[in-house]
Structure 1
Amino acid sequence: MPTPPAGRCKTPLRIDAHQHFWRYRSEDYPWIGAGMDLLAQDRLPYQFQPLLEAQGLHASITVQARQGRDETAFLLEMARRDKRIAGIIGWEDLSAPDLAEQMERWGRHKLLGLRHQLQEHDDANTLLTPAPLDQGVRWLQERSYTLDVLAHERHLPQLRQFCARHDQHWVVLNHLGKPALKEFRKGRAAFERWRQELRELTAMPHVACKISGLLTEADWLRGLCTRDFEHIVQCLDTALDLFGPQRLMFGSDWPVCLLAASYSRVVTVVREWSATRLCPSDQDALWGESSARIYGLLT
């Protein structure tokens, strides 16, 4: 695992716990649509690492952005070449009968866990209840692999039931459950709905969360305004209140974040917020210690 630079050995490790790499082909990334030219190109470590270092961060966790075993192989190869990639969250079919064999073929080196995607589906039950899926998740948790979940707020009730069944290891909610920030401009109803759903999920101590992807949930096509940033701070405050710093992790969601703001802007929003809310030890948790512990980087 990367360590702070020489001469700064007492500096706490700083980790961006959620970012992506890809070699772009339109057929592989159908979710990259109109108005997303910044994403419709290769996004690789040589482009990202200078941004990471410029913000005083030492390492990142790279997360799958497409489904398929070739994605896991690609990310593991990136991690093998670059020591600043602390680990990857890959993709495998959690319901596959050969899940165990495939995971064993990948090996444990830098494969920290898998991600399960719900965001494109209206009915989360079809993706969270099949018996083979439960068997696969149990296998992962028994071996201390972390499960990331990409879900919208509409999926949180079903996700809560899923997490109640699977409590032997960490489940990590990505992007704070993707609150409907576009609707926040219309009044408090959308915010209160999201907060209530999130509150019930956070009652389970094995559920952690990444404060990532928030800027792109706002209306970035029209341009972010002061109210959008106020709503983002509301979400961050809610996350801190419900999860506490020991179950929160900073993630940039680079390069997807570039649709709404630069990498430095994404980091600055969270850095300025955390400086006014957290003591130094809790800031250390948010910026690296929590992700190192939850993803098993300290073992």
Structure 2
Amino acid sequence: MLIDAHHHLWRIARNDYGWLTPETGFLYRDYEPSDFKPLLDAHGIERAVVIQAAPTLAETDFLLSLSQAHPYLGAVVGWVDFSARDTPEQLDRLSKHSHFRGVRPMIQDIPEDDWMLRPELNDTFVALTQRDLSFDALIQPRHLRALIELVGRHPSLRMVINHCGKPEVRDWQVGDARFNAWQAGIAELARHPNVFCKLSALPTRSAPNWSAATFADYVEVLMTAFGETRLMWASDWPILERNGRYADWLRVARQLVPESAHANVFGATAQAFYRIE
């Protein structure tokens, strides 16, 4: 089974996407299953994981309703307020839906780099672990140190790093201090068997006219660190289209991942992590 482990759907009229404004250009419109499913069909992809794009419980309920109507949506990653007292109850409510698999706080939008280490959030991380729900870590390189500490505190929390930790491909040179720091952080996180990673968003972190060569060193770092059973490919559609096309990113990723690892990276890893039927 081929799986796209990360994409987004939204309806502008829901009005809780603070980051979506007319200034975001082509992204400022509705993106529905009917827009996305033809891309999957064109490439033989059977399931996809839909990820929250707004920090509200209403967003989670919206995505769960879509998954109920569209079977190809094999898993939903929603949002909860990590600091709310009733979050365990909210997780229990959401878990009654057969496609709810975990949550994603929008860490990259929070000014405080150490936000995830706040004591008042600890109970939510414990609640996720107890319920065997996953934590999608939407981080940037500045968060690597804090995420390493978080993993140490919660060694049984099932965690997946979004978008390779968002390395700044367009600005970095392979082997410079920033690349080396990212590589070291990724390697440290990968030491923990509960940590997975999504091979995604490299195109949007890159300059235009990227190719397989642009990403080769990054994919080598990820494959070496996580191996094929903890690395999962994802499109990050429609954000991907800021600097690339679905077919091109899938083609380049297939070139960079050893063919012997394709079954896992392009399907089985995501299927196991998100328990996709």
Give the TM-score category using the shorter length. over 0.9
Q: Which amino acid aligns with 2:84?
A: A
Match of 1:145 in 2: 133
CA contact (8 A) 1:184 1:231 kept: no
Cα contact 1:15–1:288 (8 A) shared by 2: yes
Q: Which amino acid aligns with 2:104?
A: R
| Residue 209 (structure 2) aligns with | 224
Aligned-partner Cα distance in 2 for 1:264–1:278: 17
Does the alignment pair 1:297 with 2:269?
no
Q: Residue 37 of structure 2 corresponds to which residue in structure 1? A: 49
- Map 1:61-100; keep pairs closer than 5 Å: 61-100=49-88
- The aligned counterpart of 2:102 is 113
Aligned residue in 2 for 1:270: 253
Could you list the structure 1 runs, at least 4 aligned residues long, displaced by more than 4 angstroms after superposition. Answer: none
Contact 2:103 2:134 in 1 (8 A): yes
Matched, 1:286 2:265: yes
Aligned to 2:160: 172
Where does structure 1 lack aligned partners over 5 or more consecutive residues?
A: 1-12
- What does residue range 189-208 of structure 1 map to in structure 2 within 5 Å? 189-208=177-196
Tell me by how many angstroms 1:251 deviates: 0.6
Tell me the residue number matched to 1:248: 231
Q: CA RMSD in A?
A: 1.9
The code of the aligned residue for 1:266 comes to W
Residue number among 16, 28, 45 corresponding to 1:40 in the alignment: 28
Distance 1:238 1:34, change over 3 A: farther
Q: CA deviation at 1:25?
A: 4.9
CA contact (8 A) 1:26 1:40 kept: no
Cα distance in 1 between the residues matched to 2:125 and 2:175: 38
Given that residues 102 and 133 in structure 2 are in contact (C-alpha distance below 8 angstroms), is that contact kept between their aligned partners in structure 1? yes
Offset at 1:40? Answer: 0.8
Q: Secondary structure at the match of 2:27?
A: coil
1:256-285 alpha-carbon deviations (Å, 9 max, x no partner): 0011111111211111222xx241xx2111
Does the aligned pair in 1 maintain the 2:151–2:157 contact within 8 Å?
no
1:104 Cα shift? 2.1
CA contact (8 A) 2:173 2:179 kept: no
Shift of 1:293: 1.0
In the alignment of these two chains, the number of paired residues is 276
CA distance in structure 2 between the partners assigned to 1:134 and 1:172 by the alignment: 18
TM-score where L is the length of structure 1: 0.87
Kept in 2, the 8 Å contact 1:16–1:59? The answer is yes
Indicate the SS of the match to 1:213: coil
Deviations 1:99-126 (A, max 9, x none): 122222221410000012221234321x
State how 1:147-162 maps to structure 2 within 5 Å.
147-162=135-150
Q: Structure 2 CA distance, aligned partners of 1:36 and 1:143?
A: 37
2: CA distance, partners of 1:217 / 1:34: 22
Between the aligned partners of 2:73 and 2:180, the Cα distance in structure 1 is: 37
Identity %: 30
Provide the secondary structure at the position in 2 that maps to 1:93: coil
**Partner Cα separation in structure 1 for residue 174 and residue 47 of structure 2:** 38
Separation in structure 1 between the aligned mates of residue 167 and residue 210 of structure 2, nearest angstrom: 17
Indicate which of 211, 219, 225 corresponds to 1:236: 219
Deviation of 1:205 after TM superposition, in Å, equals: 1.1
Partner Cα separation in structure 1 for residue 38 and residue 247 of structure 2: 11
Tell me the SS of whatever aligns to 2:25.
coil
In structure 2, distance between residues paired with 1:246 and 1:187: 26
Q: Give the structure-2-normalised TM-score.
A: 0.94
Whole-Å separation in 2 of the counterparts to 1:122 and 1:97: 23
What is residue 3 of structure 1 aligned with on the other side? Answer: none
